[in-house]
């Protein structure tokens, strides 16, 4: 099955495993964890201690906590990269196996932070939108000159 937030390709197997782990948490904890990751992606940094304290009662090992944070980061960055809408992301997360409350929480946090995540991802990329525009303008000029 293909998912828009994965660029209209299949979801990675490791992400399916992490979605099962995420669904064992409460939807409130999933939302708070997603907010931590969204702040990090927006350029505000991440407090791993806060994430660990949030999940202290879930008895997850540190490696699982980091994997969970990485999977949430993948969902948010991929959804931003492919301009996935909130409703579409929610529906796809439910198709992956997340409970409805978890999918609603993740999609809501994504919707609230999508613009700042996208801006930060563009700044961190090798080529900004302006650079890409200039590159393609030069390329078109070169191709037109070559055909004449």
Please write the tens of the pLDDT for every residue from 4-27: 988 888 999 989 989 998 998 899
Mean predicted confidence (pLDDT) in 115-132: 76
Residue in the structure block whose two tokens are 């997603």: 34
pTM (two decimals): 0.79
Q: What is the pLDDT of residue 54?
A: 76
* Weakest mean pLDDT among 41-55, 102-116, 119-133: 119-133
Mean predicted confidence (pLDDT) in 119-142: 72
Q: What is the pLDDT of residue 146?
A: 66
- Number of CB atoms found within 10 A of residue 83's CB: 11
Give the angle 122-126-90 at the CA atoms, nearest 5°.
35
């Amino acid at each position: 099955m293909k998912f828009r937030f994965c660029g209209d390709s299949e979801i990675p197997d490791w992400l399916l495993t992490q979605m099962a782990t995420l669904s064992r948490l409460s939807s409130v904890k999933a939302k708070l964890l997603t907010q931590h990751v969204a702040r990090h992606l927006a350029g505000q940094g991440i407090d791993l201690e806060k994430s660990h304290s949030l999940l202290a009662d879930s008895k997850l090992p540190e490696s699982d906590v980091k994997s969970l944070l990485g999977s949430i980061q993948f969902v948010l960055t991929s959804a931003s990269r492919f301009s996935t809408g909130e409703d579409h992301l929610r529906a796809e997360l439910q198709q992956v196996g997340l409970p409805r409350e978890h999918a609603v929480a993740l999609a809501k946090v994504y919707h609230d932070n999508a613009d700042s995540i996208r801006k930060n991802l563009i700044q961190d990329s090798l080529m900004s939108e302006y650079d890409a525009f200039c590159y393609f303008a030069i390329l078109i000029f070169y191709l037109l000159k070559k055909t004449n």
